[in-house]
Structure 1
Amino acid sequence: MDTKTLIASEIAKVVPELEQEAIFNLLETPKNSDMGDLAFPAFSLSKILRKAPQMIASELAEKIEASQFEKVVAVGPYLNFFLNKAAISEQVLKQVITDGSDYAQQNEGQNRHVAIDMSSPNIAKPFSIGHLRSTVIGDSLANVFAKMGYEPVKINHLGDWGKQFGMLIVAYKKWGDEEAVKAHPIDELLKLYVRINAEAETDPTVDEEAREWFRKLEDGDQEATSLWQWFRDESLLEFNRLYDQMKVTFDSYNGEAFYNDKMDEVLELLEAKGLLVESKGAQVVNLEKYGIEHPALIKKSDGATLYITRDLAAALYRKCTYDFAKSIYVVGNEQAAHFKQLKAVLKEMGYDWSDDMTHVAFGLVTKGGAKLSTRKGNVILLEPTVAEAINRAASQIEAKNPNLPNKEDVAHAVGVGAIKFYDLKTDRMNGYDFDLEAMVSFEGETGPYVQYAHARIQSILRKAQFEPSTQAQYSLNDAESWEIIKLIQDFPRIIKRTADHFEPSIIAKYAINLAQSFNKYYAHTRILEENNERDSRLALCYATATVLKEALRLLGVEAPNEM
């Protein structure tokens, strides 16, 4: 039982008027540690008990069983709890040493599935920093939900269908070079796409030809299908090279094309339920009763289906295939209206599981304050950016530790980790300005700062030749170590909050806080001094490193043992 739950349960024993959960939510952390570790404000009981909050706090201080605490005192309208540092530090350190990387593992999910729609780049388009947020937020949430006991299913819903493939086929047949595409798929296909679009502006027959090729593709024409499949395969090879660099994997690459033969069933279901309404020749579903002004456009007047029809098919397929407990879509905030419509249409179809679907939106990445745009050339491509981050990390590692044996691996872990961490430490609904120098800095609230704190601890443990034991009695009573103990004890709750709010920045900020607290401890404490607390201090180092490494892992960031 964590200390907050313990305090809430002790108060609940003497305050039957309030539920334990309500008491738990009212507990505060005093700004000054001299005022205790946790405080209960008695204001909430004033109306119920018809007494002054100060009097209530004093009476509670006398009633509460204080043997589990250092002391319990009333200060004005607050009941302040001072925790037993020695007992709690022993309990926390022993728990981390026993559990190792499984510390804070939870069983909320009971192996139920969480479907995570993430990354989802467009075939034949470059993978830019714009795709990074969906990729790293989705990857981190997959790790977090696994830690909560769920089984995540990471789905890369590729943009692998659409009229642009008609244009690409026309361009490739005119100017394509098979070897050039194989060597640099995205670059070559993008060049072809830009060139054919430029030609289409002056030659109207290009559009007609492209429409004809896309029609052939939709009808299953062998040549069109073969070219489309090749464009997809070659693009995916390049994407996977990038994903390998980022250490991101997927369970499914079912993209837009996968649902081509599943949309008729959606239309039939909507028709059978009497939900399709004609509007200007198109088929729509009215959603006014859900507070959504614009109807969902399901089928255009020319018979073409739309993006939402495909997403309806995908949602039905995923529920049928994975029977998910949660289905999350890690997609930019500009798609908020689309996902509101999607959920509302499914609800209208009678699928209550639509309540288990969540749009995990995020803000934009800017460069120099300007919005990124492929069309305007203001774009940051991921591959060269990762390479530069690794080079910057390598330079700093060379300066700090020129004799490090595995410099290349460490530079990769630090460079890639720096990009991921910087993205994830930002509240996802906020955007951020892309600044590689700030990202890769070893100072400030960065990934390298946290990684370096972990590596420093590993160095201390190596020097001390410390071997943790579950049989030993480790306990500490000083103020500096107490700050770290409280943070380590809080780790399970941090993970739960991250999962509840779909917000990896909670873990990133926690990791920064823990690293800062340890560095403060390191500066003020002679950890290796020979006395009766030496092993307890080393156990604290071991527990801190274990939790830092696990926090970074949940963010998809590696924790090198040396830097």
Structure 2
Amino acid sequence: MACFFRRRIAAKLGRTLQQPEEVLIPALSAVPVFKKQQNPDFKLSVGLLRMNGILPSSGDIQQQTEKLATQLKQDSVVENISAGSGVVNFRINRKLLIQKLLEPFGKEGNDKFGLNSELFNSLKRGTTLVEYSSPNIAKKFHAGHLRSTIIGNFIANLKQALGYDVIRMNYLGDWGMQFGLLGAGFSQFGSQEKLKQNPLQHLFEVYVQVNKEAEQNENMRLAARDFFRQLERRESEAVSLWQQFREITVEEYQHVYKRLGVHFDIYSGESFHQDRAQEVLQQLQTGGLLKTTEKGTGVVDVSPAGDMSNVCTVLRSDGTTLYITRDIAAAIDRKEKYYFDEMIYVTDKSQANHFQQLFQILLKMGHPWADRCLHVPFGLVQGMKTRTGDVVFLEDVLDEARARMLHNMSQSKTTKEMDNPEDTAEKVGISALIVQDFKGPLFSDYKFDWDRILQAQGDTGVFLQYSHARLCSLIRRNEELKGATFDPSLLLEQSSITIVQHLLRYDEVLYQSAQDLQPKHLVNFLLKLCHLIASAHRELPVKGSPEEVAQARIRLFAGACSVLAGGMRILGIIPVEKM
């Protein structure tokens, strides 16, 4: 395991520098591998040692590096120590490296590889509430919600894998003026019969129709305001219709979530916080934070200088609350109910200002935990269209991914016989969507391209799944070799060493992902692992090799397969075993 070697090197450094090893571990990192090249396994950043006051911060950094490298002695674990540019390099005894790293994969329950690292000791584990997906009730699940859903799922999976208690929350847009429009529109354009047949499609059509009508017709706008006021007053007829819309929508959404392999612990919504929103307004009033403008709206001053140059509206002139008012109420309610240590909101970057204001208002109200609330923003997907039209619903995108993948699989000569090709095509198609989305920084917009994302070669989700399925097939065909004695001295070829060196970085990649909540580190690590596996397949044949050599190679491939599957699950991808 990487942590065994990191501790050994840190202990060696600790004796030389007279420092506890925990202080030295963060300055040590596994060296990224380059194909066909012999690399050291770990490097120590002398710059970090200087920054942390372990080495003098003045003087020539290279001289300090070379001096430290000569002070450290080799032993049975570390067989070579050399000075690089501002780093000290360590090369581990090859046989020991392979033995220790591949040891866990000889026994069952090896899915904790990389997750017990001392790198995670500095994480402040506790309860994390992640709010993600959060579509609007009475609207079909738009492809725009795909990003929030899969990013939030990744963050929840990662936190859970690292030992946090995670609460997964779907905060539905189930209140607000759009329900005034929909309620008023349904009485005019709606049909209970059509609602039964195709609920969300019908509500979507009503919503489009009533919006058009409201643009030209003042009476329709007034009827919408009136319906929303009835809702806020909890009048039974309005509430009953709203409830019907909500139940229908949640049921429909759950089909989509099931297909994505996503689940929630709690379905909440703006409607839950309507009464609490009134309390919030009362508290803002009492605390002298609520100001009334000339137009009669209620605002909170969030300008740094307190000069009203930047205000946040929390109350309409007609006395109804806004999205932000309900968000303040929701945050306070969640803190009281779930005692979270941190709360993460996953929405697109256009809402960055909203969350900045939300956190500022919570702090002004005397809630210091608002500092532990975080917004993870993401960019837009451009050009995500199906063959049929412009309005892109997520189910249509998933259907299209499955259909295209099924077609590609039927054309491929390597496709295996399988019990349920549609299910495999669905999982692989969804992997393709996720990897395409996660390869770059989340904040960036990206252009969607069906042909590129479904390629079997190159850095795609299809390649990831293909690499995993190929390893599973190899392991299945050599089942009898799994229990034999493992001899690490039979894996000293460069392609074996390279895979093992790459696996050394797994805990660091997870740590980096936990720091900035970006999935790209893990995606790129797994894709690189797939390329290294592809080379090893060619260079380290199992079939036709002597039994003990074949057994050692199967252990290497089983280790790579296990890490690949574990990493994919954290990303929210269900690994397939045949394709």
Q: Give the TM-score normalised by structure 2.
A: 0.89
C-alpha offsets along residues 299-347 of structure 1, whole Å, 9 cap, x if unaligned?
2333222221111111111111111121000011111111111111111
Which residue in the other structure is 2:27 paired with?
Answer: 25
- Contact preservation (8 Å) 2:402, 2:426: yes
Counterpart check, 1:401 vs 2:421: no
Which residue in the other structure is 2:529 paired with?
Answer: 514
Letter in 1 for 2:444: N
Counterpart check, 1:14 vs 2:16: yes
Counterpart check, 1:560 vs 2:576: yes
* Structural mapping, 1:375-390, within 5 Å: 378-390=390-402
The CA deviation at 1:358 is 0.6
**Which secondary structure state, in structure 2, belongs to the residue aligned with residue 304 of structure 1?**
coil
- Contact preservation (8 Å) 1:12, 1:23: no
**Which secondary structure state, in structure 2, belongs to the residue aligned with residue 338 of structure 1?**
helix
Which residue in the other structure is 1:104 paired with?
Answer: 114
* Alignment partner of 1:71 out of 80, 85, 98: 80
**Which secondary structure state, in structure 2, belongs to the residue aligned with residue 420 of structure 1?**
helix
Counterpart check, 1:480 vs 2:484: no
C-alpha offsets along residues 342-395 of structure 1, whole Å, 9 cap, x if unaligned?
111111222111111110111111118xxx9xxxx8442211111111112112
**Which secondary structure state, in structure 1, belongs to the residue aligned with residue 456 of structure 2?**
coil
Which residue in the other structure is 1:256 paired with?
Answer: 270
Percent of counterpart pairs with the same letter? Answer: 31
Counterpart check, 1:294 vs 2:294: no
C-alpha offsets along residues 24-80 of structure 1, whole Å, 9 cap, x if unaligned?
437583887445233446577899387655544443333213112121134576533
Which residue in the other structure is 2:461 paired with?
Answer: 447
Cα distance change, pair 58–30 in 1 and its aligned pair in 2 (3 A): farther
The CA deviation at 1:177 is 1.7
Which residue in the other structure is 1:93 paired with?
Answer: 102
* Alignment partner of 1:129 out of 143, 149, 162: 143
Cα distance change, pair 293–418 in 1 and its aligned pair in 2 (3 A): farther
- Give the paired residue count: 556
Cα distance change, pair 34–443 in 1 and its aligned pair in 2 (3 A): closer
* Alignment partner of 1:36 out of 31, 40, 44: 40
Cα distance change, pair 262–57 in 1 and its aligned pair in 2 (3 A): closer
Stretch of structure 1 that moved more, 471-480 or 528-537: 471-480
Cα distance change, pair 516–52 in 1 and its aligned pair in 2 (3 A): same
The CA deviation at 1:274 is 2.9
C-alpha offsets along residues 436-486 of structure 1, whole Å, 9 cap, x if unaligned?
222222111111101111111111111212454597454532221122112
Letter in 2 for 1:37: D
* Alignment partner of 1:190 out of 188, 195, 204: 204
Which residue in the other structure is 1:359 paired with?
Answer: 375
**Which secondary structure state, in structure 1, belongs to the residue aligned with residue 417 of structure 2?**
coil
**Which secondary structure state, in structure 2, belongs to the residue aligned with residue 122 of structure 1?**
coil
Cα distance change, pair 134–97 in 1 and its aligned pair in 2 (3 A): farther
**Which secondary structure state, in structure 2, belongs to the residue aligned with residue 104 of structure 1?**
coil
Task: State the alpha-carbon separation in 2 of the partners of residues 35 and 244 from structure 1.
Answer: 44
Q: CA RMSD in A?
A: 2.8
- Contact preservation (8 Å) 2:27, 2:48: no
Counterpart check, 1:497 vs 2:501: no
Task: State the alpha-carbon separation in 2 of the partners of residues 543 and 366 from structure 1.
Answer: 38
- Contact preservation (8 Å) 1:511, 1:548: yes
Stretch of structure 1 that moved more, 240-249 or 1-10: 1-10
**Which secondary structure state, in structure 2, belongs to the residue aligned with residue 495 of structure 1?**
helix
- Contact preservation (8 Å) 1:466, 1:538: no
Structure 2: which 5+ residue stretches go unaligned? Answer: none
Letter in 2 for 1:259: H
Letter in 2 for 1:285: V
Cα distance change, pair 19–102 in 1 and its aligned pair in 2 (3 A): closer
C-alpha offsets along residues 485-540 of structure 1, whole Å, 9 cap, x if unaligned?
12223222222221221112221111111111111111222233115433221111
- Contact preservation (8 Å) 1:4, 1:24: no
* Structural mapping, 1:530-549, within 5 Å: 530=546, 532-549=548-565
Cα distance change, pair 241–188 in 1 and its aligned pair in 2 (3 A): same
Counterpart check, 1:61 vs 2:69: yes
Letter in 1 for 2:322: L
* Alignment partner of 2:284 out of 270, 277, 288: 270
Stretch of structure 1 that moved more, 239-248 or 30-39: 30-39
- Contact preservation (8 Å) 2:30, 2:505: no
- Contact preservation (8 Å) 2:144, 2:381: yes
**Which secondary structure state, in structure 2, belongs to the residue aligned with residue 100 of structure 1?**
coil
Letter in 2 for 1:294: N
Task: State the alpha-carbon separation in 2 of the partners of residues 265 and 258 from structure 1.
Answer: 13
Letter in 1 for 2:351: Q
The CA deviation at 1:268 is 2.5
Stretch of structure 1 that moved more, 206-215 or 224-233: 206-215
**Which secondary structure state, in structure 2, belongs to the residue aligned with residue 156 of structure 1?**
strand
The CA deviation at 1:140 is 1.1
- Contact preservation (8 Å) 1:94, 1:470: no
Letter in 2 for 1:89: I
**Which secondary structure state, in structure 2, belongs to the residue aligned with residue 254 of structure 1?**
strand
Stretch of structure 1 that moved more, 515-524 or 34-43: 34-43
**Which secondary structure state, in structure 2, belongs to the residue aligned with residue 350 of structure 1?**
coil
Letter in 1 for 2:365: M
Task: State the alpha-carbon separation in 1 of the partners of residues 46 and 280 from structure 2.
Answer: 56
* Alignment partner of 1:247 out of 252, 256, 261: 261
Counterpart check, 1:458 vs 2:472: yes
Counterpart check, 1:523 vs 2:538: yes
**Which secondary structure state, in structure 1, belongs to the residue aligned with residue 266 of structure 2?**
coil
Task: State the alpha-carbon separation in 2 of the partners of residues 363 and 459 from structure 1.
Answer: 38
**Which secondary structure state, in structure 2, belongs to the residue aligned with residue 393 of structure 1?**
helix
Cα distance change, pair 293–477 in 1 and its aligned pair in 2 (3 A): farther
